[in-house]
Amino acid sequence: MLVAEDDEVDALLLEHALEKAGSIFKMIHVTDGQEAIDYVKGAGVYSDRKKHPLPHLVLLDLKMPRKDGFAVLQWRRDACQAAIPMIAFSSSNLRDDIDRAYLLGANSYVVKPTAPERLESMVKALQDWWVGFNVTGSLS
């Protein structure tokens, strides 16, 4: 799972929740939208797919430096990269942000849980849905 998150504390909390939940997701962390695009494209330092495999799922913070999460969603739509599910993962619960993320092709929108037990519950639910129930295409 690729996690595009500029806040180191949020990234560490998510990584801890993944471990505590016994998740099968291996967290790959990038700190801005441009890095997320480069990782998905396999560009630059991420060109070796053995070292940097294509993610099966992307958690995407919307408010990041360089390129924000909305720019990543726009890139994905323009580049026809819809096979990789992208989940907007933001502290914003503003209707405009939610609507914009979905209009740009987000597969889901999750407001970041603030309580550790809710974060762990969210991680379990993500795994249950995206691994246990969701059927992916051959392109992902």
Condensed to tens digits (0 to 9), the pLDDT of residues 51-98 reads 999 998 999 999 998 899 999 999 998 887 777 899 999 999 999 999
C-alpha 77/C-alpha 83 separation (Å) is 10
Does some domain include residue 118?
Answer: yes
Judge whether 16 and 100 are in contact, CB under 8 Å. Answer: no
Confidence (pLDDT) at 80: 74
Judge whether 101 and 88 are in contact, CB under 8 Å. Answer: yes
- What CATH number has the domain bearing residue 18? 3.40.50.2300
Does some domain include residue 89?
Answer: yes
Cα 96 → chain centroid:
20
Does some domain include residue 82?
Answer: yes
Does some domain include residue 139?
Answer: no
pTM (predicted TM-score): 0.90
Label residue 21 by pLDDT band (50, 70, 90). Answer: confident
Does some domain include residue 22?
Answer: yes
Does some domain include residue 69?
Answer: yes
Confidence (pLDDT) at 133: 82
C-alpha 97/C-alpha 132 separation (Å) is 28
pLDDT tens-digit readout, 4-17: 999 999 999 999 99
Give the side-chain half-sphere CA count within 13 A for 36: 34
Cα 107 → chain centroid:
10
Residue carrying the six token digits 């933001």? 90
Does some domain include residue 41?
Answer: yes
Enumerate the β-bridge partners of residue 125. Answer: none
C-alpha 80/C-alpha 85 separation (Å) is 12
C-alpha 122/C-alpha 34 separation (Å) is 26
Does some domain include residue 84?
Answer: yes
**Secondary structure class of 136 (helix, strand, coil):** coil
C-alpha 34/C-alpha 111 separation (Å) is 22
- The count of structural domains within the chain is 1
Judge whether 39 and 10 are in contact, CB under 8 Å. Answer: no
Domain with 41 in it: 2-123
Residue 1 pLDDT more than 70?
yes
